[in-house]
Amino acid sequence: MHTPFTDNQDKAFLRKTMMGPNAMRITEELASYLPISAEMRILDLGCGKGISSILLAEKYGVTVYAADLWIRPEENAGRFACVGLDARIFPFSVDATKDIPFLPHFFDMIISVDSYQYFGHDEAMLPKLLPYLKDGGLIAIAVPGFNEDFAEGQVPEVLKPFWTPEWYFYSSNWWKALWEKERGIEITILREMDSCKQAWDEWLQSPNPYAQEDRKMMEAGAGKYFNIIQMVGRKR
Ligand SMILES: C[S@@+](CC[C@H](N)C(=O)[O-])C[C@H]1O[C@@H](n2cnc3c(N)ncnc32)[C@H](O)[C@@H]1O
């Protein structure tokens, strides 16, 4: 069985499956702050090629519902079978801004790594997701962002050739203010993640054309403005 794992990461597997800063490394740090136990059902929202789901299922023995918009569930199913985790990770296709095909109170946790910024920058998203969580359940996100706020479009010169609004990069204060609008959760963790630099460095080694582009940006010095923000909220 081919079993990638962060203590001894299978670099070839990860280089093929990363879609941004190494999500397996980020998920490992994110999960280390969460009270995860094996009987839990976790929604991995915006799982991409599922490396966060693999980490959760393999390390914690949880059942993961691996949801994504751009990556077909058939592709992810093949990958989960390859690593022997197809009995614990269930891939499906979802657009988080539309219907989510689960009953209320189904999940113990919702996790989202390097994805929430695309759909969750809209204040309508958090109240939409909360009904799917059990009472007291956690929503935990890790989003790449900026370590300070920049006025609309006023990013530093070094970022200008690369930045677009579709990055949805914000500061931790911006995310905090967004989630504080929602009365149905209490923010329990807001921090900058230690794995930021290493996760970016690992992504830049990927043959993915987007990583090649990002390498130019990082060589120009953009990285000093980047962080990865971890935010966790408990459903009241
Ligand atoms: C940069 S990729 C990261 C994927 C993966 N989490 C990782 O870190 O490797 C962003 C992911 O967000 C997902 N995404 C964007 N908008 C979405 C939406 N509305 N609903 C569900 N997923 C979405 C995409 O399908 C894509 O896989």
Q: Quick one: which atom of ligand 1 is closest to the CA of 95?
A: 20
Q: How confident is the model at residue 1 (pLDDT cuts 50, 70, 90)?
A: very low
Q: Are 229 and 192 in contact (CB under 8 A)?
A: yes
What separation in angstroms does the CA of 6 have from each of 9, 51, 212, 232? 4, 10, 23, 22
Residue with the smallest CA separation from ligand 1 atom 27 is 48
**pLDDT score recorded for residue 236:** 96
Indicate the SS3 state at residue 4.
coil
Which residues form the pocket of ligand 1, taking CB atoms under 6 Å from any ligand atom?
18-20, 23, 46-48, 51-52, 68-71, 94-97, 113-115, 118-119
Mean pLDDT value across residues 8-27: 89
Q: Quick one: which atom of ligand 1 is closest to the CA of 18?
A: 9
**pLDDT score recorded for residue 12:** 85
CA of 174 to the centre of ligand 1 (A): 20
Of 114, 99, 106, residue with least CA distance to 47: 114
Q: Are 233 and 186 in contact (CB under 8 A)?
A: yes
First CA to last CA distance, the chain: 41
**pLDDT score recorded for residue 6:** 52
Residue with the smallest CA separation from ligand 1 atom 9 is 19
User: pTM of the prediction?
Assistant: 0.96
CA of 58 to the centre of ligand 1 (A): 21
pLDDT digits (tens, 9 = 90+) for 181-192: 999 999 999 999
Q: What whole-number distance in Å separates Cα of residue 189 and Cα of residue 194? A: 14
Mean pLDDT value across residues 30-47: 98
Please list the alpha-helical segments (H only) found in 181-229: 196-204, 209-219
CB-facing half-sphere around the CA of 193: CA atoms within 13 A: 34
As assigned by CATH, the class of the 6-235 domain is alpha beta
**Sequence spans of domains, the chain:** 6-235
pLDDT digits (tens, 9 = 90+) for 49-79: 999 999 999 999 999 999 999 999 999 999 9
pLDDT digits (tens, 9 = 90+) for 141-186: 999 999 999 988 799 999 999 999 999 999 999 999 999 999 999 9
Measured in whole angstroms, the distance separating CA 82 from the mean position of its chain's CA atoms is 22
Token reading at 10: 């299978």
In 73-184, the DSSP E strands lie at 89-93, 107-113, 133-146
CA of 115 to the centre of ligand 1 (A): 4
DSSP 136: E
CA of 173 to the centre of ligand 1 (A): 23
pLDDT digits (tens, 9 = 90+) for 74-103: 999 999 999 999 999 999 999 999 999 999
**pLDDT score recorded for residue 185:** 98
Q: What whole-number distance in Å separates Cα of residue 204 and Cα of residue 215? A: 6
Residue with the smallest CA separation from ligand 1 atom 14 is 46
CA of 95 to the centre of ligand 1 (A): 9
pLDDT digits (tens, 9 = 90+) for 125-135: 999 999 999 99
